[in-house]
Amino acid sequence: MALTVVEEDVSTPEPPETFPPPPAVVTTPCDPWPRPYYLEDSLRKVLPYHYTYNTYCKERWRGRELLDIFATEFRDRPVEYYKDAIECGKVVVNGHPVPSVHAIVKNGDIVSHTLHRHEPPVTAQPIGIVHEDNDMIVINKPAGVPVHPAGRYNYNSIVEIMRAERGHQWNPLPCNRLDRLTSGVMFIGKNAVAAEKLSVQIQDRAVKKEYIARVIGEFPLGDIVCEQPIMQISPKLGLNRARASGKDARTVFKRLAYYPPRRRNGETAPEEDRRTEQEKERDSHKPWKAKEGYSIVRCLPLTGRTHQLRVHLQYLGHPIANDPIYCNQRVFGPSLAAGDASGDKDEDIISRLSRMGKSEVAEAMAYHDEMMEEYNKKKAEKMTGELCDVCNTPLYSDPGVHELGIYLHAKRYACDSGGWAYETGLPEWALPPKGMEGPVEVTEEEEEDLVGLAEKVEGLGLG
């Protein structure tokens, strides 16, 4: 048998491939338990505490300077604060201080910001329980409380308040989303399976929703369908407008009641016009001034765009009466953008809105009812001119309780197949004012009529 000589391999083996470690993440200094809540002046407040935000570099941040990102993406504090925070090491990238405020942020970077956190107060009104079983809690969310921790809110959120009430390890799973300013029906899953099942139903539009709104002026009678597409024109401010090039949006509206304004003598009949010619000329440029009284309107959204009801009501010329954005003449001008689907004034609108709540008062300037005199005595949350003793952050004044939400309430959610339905009564602001008659509930017949109209609109494929 022949022998074969095998040469020994004397080559140097290649070293194993190595990978860089993941970016360092700064951890929050503490997670106080029980949560640092206290109640004062009908508000739920949180004692200031230190907290660290960790954020992966977003696509739009790539290649930009660190200070530029903070100055343009965040409204919580002035640019001087962010400059100082970067230079002092309160803002770091991948766990390390940066050489200057001009450091470039790259894809994969983690930006950490440790600060003395001041949360805005929310209403002390408890979270109402509409229904509870082994899988789900149906709540009546108070207006003014965000669902999830976001922005300046953390412990003052539905998720954290419910966790504080039921135990640190309890994990509430919201299945639908309501804006912070909106009240009404919300579903909180007790386990992932139940939460996923309901979330899929809502996303697949297998759930009918009905909202109640209080709007300026006399909303028209009959069945009103708005099909204006909606576009977000400022991600930073969360501002949306009616736009032909926006996303498809459809809402069915029907007036429930109209309440004319009260006069000084308590009557509702028109008063003699005692304005001077100068005042008449001034008011001629303010169309909303002619919209007297207010209407209670039922709203059935057939799509789920952000701020859909608020934008559609504004487009129809009857914005929500105390909406600090879409019913604000300082932001949208004398017409309040009624019937306006153009983008001609977007830059001016964004600029004016960005100042609201900072040097100016964010209030609904368009609507003046019997509450307005008291409203003006209690200005909305704004900077006080004082600074925090710990971090020198400008402090805000407390908002009045009536300023924590808007007149928009998620009244009813119902499964298309009829398997379940949950609803609340009408909110207090939707009930007849003292001395006037009006509906105190939505009748079953009215419910069926509006649902039938919504089904017809969907069936015809309008929009």
d(CA 305, CA 384): 35
Degrees, nearest 5: CA angle 59-63-67:
100
| Residue from 135, 179, 283, 348 carrying the catalytic annotation | 179
Cβ neighbour number for residue 298 with a 10 Å cutoff: 22
DSSP 296: E
Tokens of 413: 């959610």
Beta partners for residue 87, in sequence order: none
Q: Which stretches within 123-240 are classed as H helix? A: 158-166, 192-203
Which sign does the torsion angle of CA 83, 89, 94, 100 carry? Answer: positive
Collapsed DSSP state (helix, strand, coil) of residue 14: coil
Closest CA to 319 of 219, 409, 433, 250: 219
d(CA 431, CA 423): 16
Instruction: Please name the amino acid found at residue 421.
Output: A
CA distances from 46 to 117, 150, 231, 408 (A): 10, 15, 35, 26
For 158, list phi and psi in degrees, rounded to 5.
-55, -45
| Strand ranges in 279-393 using DSSP code E only, listed in sequence order | 294-301, 383-387
Collapsed DSSP state (helix, strand, coil) of residue 457: helix
d(CA 89, CA 95): 10
Instruction: Please name the amino acid found at residue 45.
Output: K
Does the annotation count 248 as an active-site position? no
Q: What is the DSSP string of 74-135?
A: --SS-HHHHHHHHHTTSEEETTB--SSTTPBP-TT-EEEEEEEE-PPPEE-PPPEEEEE-SS
Residue with tokens 């993941």: 22
Q: Are 230 and 241 in contact (CB under 8 A)?
A: yes
b/e 274-296 (16+ beta carbons within 10 angstroms → b): eeeeeeeeeeeeeebeebebbbb
Residue with tokens 């949950």: 422
Which positions are annotated as active-site residues?
Answer: 179
